[in-house]
Amino acid sequence: MSISTLDRDALGSLLSEQRTAYEDLRARGLTLDLTRGKPSPEQLDLSQALLALPGEGDFRAADGTDTRNYGGLEGLVELREIFSDLLGIPVPQLLAQGSSSLTLMHDTLVWAMLHGFASSPRPWAAEEKVRFVCPVPGYDRHFALLESLGIEMVPVAMNEDGPDAEAVAALVADDPTIKGMWLVPAYANPTGGVTSPEVAARLMAMPAAAPDFRLFWDNAYAVHHLTTDETKSTDVLSLASAGGHPDRVVVFASTSKITFAGAGVALFGSSPANIAWFKSHLKFASIGPDKVNQLRHVRLFGDAEGVRALMRRHRDLLAPKFTIVDEVLTSRLAAYDVATWTRPLGGYFVNLDVVDGTAARVVELAKAVGVALTPAGASFPYGADPRDRNIRIAPSFPSLDDLRAAMDALATCVLLAAAEKSLA
């Protein structure tokens, strides 16, 4: 019973049915929020012990450093060791810093604009034009950051196995204005796709016209598995060296969705040359990161296995939410052929594509009955989804009951907008 096969009478009945369901929703006075990928309070409780760590009297790092004092620009070695294991990056090439990886991405870009990388002919800001390849749909804050710096965005398709590598290779091959690219390699925001080692190898080996082309490898969801199929982080630094471009990739990660969002530890990994470059600018911005915070994380985790165990407890809380999303969408929408959505094996999001030309209408309808959704188009550069069909669902924060109610309301809005469009 695909909506496209319904005659006008059947469409009319569908429309009035969904209008009634929609008026019922309005009467319920919902206030539900599916906008941002925040951990739920129950997830934050998993790291509650942090609030009492490292504890009075516990302030010395493994090498005897007094973490209460200045210094140690690279971050605590024992924390870098834990993430070296999890991210597949040698300890000397991995820095532990403040609480936000987005800040590290921002700083890297600002330093590239002001100073350029070691291989840059001139600072990026002195170029006539700087452009970035942006797999779409992607992370809205990546795009907003580029926009704030005047860096133009060139979209390419994000597939299940990563970005369309052939399209990227063709773009960067002879356009020196393309200086970089975003990529969330494992459990992409918002598709949940995982970049395959083959695609990663191609991106690391492809010739680039810009001598300082950089791939911003944002591994925000590296250990955020939703099933027992735990995708291992790709050793992208080795792939970069093997591809003949050891300085091509800069890696970011954080514990924002492992411990406390906004009060965790962010990580920066890259080649020895890029680490030296990063530190040469960082040293003017900081005398050293918050080592007390890093120490309490070390005490909480113990080792890499401690992080994996904690993430399994996150999974136990998160996986049922992703199941609800899929269940409601399947039971309400599958028969009508009005939407497709992802079933991610990790990360924080479900990518929902509705009937072309109706995403903004769906978001507006949902808002009017008290269900807040990320603005339509947010996952595209400049907020412009050329097909107006994409909606990002963030199921982590609401309770199971609220999530089910919100998804049911969303499904009604998707059907209503689709019926309206078919009859227009």
The contact set with ligand PLP (CB under 6 A) reads: 37, 100-102, 139, 184, 189, 218, 220, 254, 256, 266
Strands (E), 43-169: 94-96, 131-136, 152-159, 162-163
CB of 224 to ligand PLP, least distance (A): 10
Nearer to ligand PLP, 256 or 422 (CB): 256
Q: How far is CA 250 from the centre of its chain?
A: 15
Where on the phi/psi map is residue 205: left (φ > 0), alpha (ψ -120 to 50), or beta?
Answer: alpha
Q: How far is the CB of 211 from ligand PLP (least distance, A)?
A: 27
3-state class of 60 per DSSP? strand
Distance CA 199, CA 188 (A): 14
Contact 94, 84 (CB under 8 A): yes
DSSP strands (E only) in 85-213? 94-96, 131-136, 152-159, 162-163, 178-183
Q: Which two tokens stand for residue 363?
A: 């978001």
The Cα–Cα gap between 82 and 331 comes to 42
For the record, the structure tokens of 37 come out as: 């990928």
**Which one, 220 or 417, has the nearer CB to ligand PLP?**
220
Q: Minimum Å distance from CB 378 to ligand PLP?
A: 12
**Closest distance to ligand PLP from the beta carbon of 206 (Å):** 23
Smallest gap, in angstroms, from Cβ of residue 162 to ligand PLP?
14
CA-to-CA distance for 77 and 294, rounded, in angstroms? 10
Specify burial of residue 41 (Cβ count, 10 A radius: 0-12, 13-18, 19+): exposed
Which run of H or of E encompasses 26?
A: helix 8-28
**For the chain, give me the number of helices (H) and strands (E)?**
13, 13
**CA 411/CA 381 separation, integer angstroms:** 26
Residue with smaller CB distance to ligand PLP, 117 or 182: 182
* Cβ–Cβ < 8 Å for 244, 211: no
Angle (deg, nearest 10), helices 77-87 and 304-333: 50
**Cβ proximity to ligand PLP, 256 vs 294, nearer residue:** 256
The residue (of 74 and 218) whose beta carbon lies closer to ligand PLP is: 218
What is the nearest approach in angstroms of ligand PLP to the Cβ of residue 16?
40
Q: Considering the complex, what minimum distance in angstroms separates the CB of residue 295 from ligand PLP?
A: 19
Rounded to a whole number of angstroms, the minimum distance from the CB of residue 219 to ligand PLP is 9
Name the minimum Å distance from CB 26 to ligand PLP: 31
Residue nearer to ligand PLP on the CB measure, 138 or 243: 138
**Residue 100 or 412 with smaller CB distance to ligand PLP:** 100
Collapse the DSSP code of 107 into the 3-class scheme (helix H, G, I; strand E, B; otherwise coil) and give the result.
Answer: helix
Instruction: Count other Cβ atoms within 10 Å, centred on residue 37.
Output: 23
As a residue count, the chain comes to 424
347 vs 377, beta carbon nearer ligand PLP = 347
What is the smallest separation between the CB atom of 123 and ligand PLP, expressed in angstroms?
25
- Please give the backbone phi and psi of residue 92, each rounded to the nearest 5 degrees, phi first: -65, -15
By beta-carbon proximity to ligand PLP, the closer residue of 43 and 256 is 256
- Using the minimum distance from each CB to ligand PLP, give the nearer residue, 296 or 332: 296
